[in-house]
Chains A and B, each alone.
Chain A
């Protein structure tokens, strides 16, 4: 173990998540990203809360890999992210076109979704928006594969 690095016992993924959470606490404001004059993503930060608004899911579906991630399928792997954010006092809200779909971390108040995710740190705000976001991503990946 590297004595000079207190995080050296952590696995690389946890170190990345921890590092990201620490950076998020030092940043405030909003960044929006346009591709070819079309807004695809915006991130708003206020120290403890991060809003990630996905306007155009094509940003997630451009490679020709065989990845077929659905958001519900990926919820279990988001568990660790939710737990880390909660331990750092951060809330991450994922929105689709301005409508809240998922919350992870401190302010997540799950009800039935605990049964699916197995954690108290992920709240499904809107099953409809989560499903639509997952479909947007898959649709984009299918379109890319068939072209």
Chain B
């Protein structure tokens, strides 16, 4: 019985480790996407089609009421990055 309990405990620990490893892999994938979208020597174009963001009402500094808003985006913008000096940052 004790042996069974130990085996079950080991299996549970192993599964937990596996889930933790996979969790960090998902984080790696997300980091790679962000790296790619902000990469060097890259041209990234974002196309917005009927893109709307509802900004809810909020309370600002000193209790000031900030009204709600709707932002609408249509069109595209292109982000171009160029590596100007390998030892420093992107332009």
Interface Cβ pair total, 8 Å cutoff: 93
Pair B51/A74 contact, Cβ less than 8 Å: no
**Dominant secondary structure of chain A at its interface with chain B:** mixed
Q: Could you say which of A26, A29, A69 contacts B26, with CB atoms under 8 Å apart?
A: A69
In this complex, what residue of B is CB-closest to A141? B32
Out of A31, A63, A68, A74, name the residue touching B35 (CB < 8 Å): A63
A28 to B43, CA, bound (A): 25
Contacting residues, chain B, for A137 (C-beta < 8 A): 29
Interchain CB contact (< 8 A) of A37 among B28, B36, B43, B73: B43
**Interface range on chain B: under 10, 10 to 19, 20 to 34, or 35 or more?**
20 to 34
Residues of A within 8 A of B (CB): 13, 26-37, 58-63, 65, 67-69, 73-74, 76-78, 137
Check A59 against B28 for contact (C-beta < 8 Å).
no
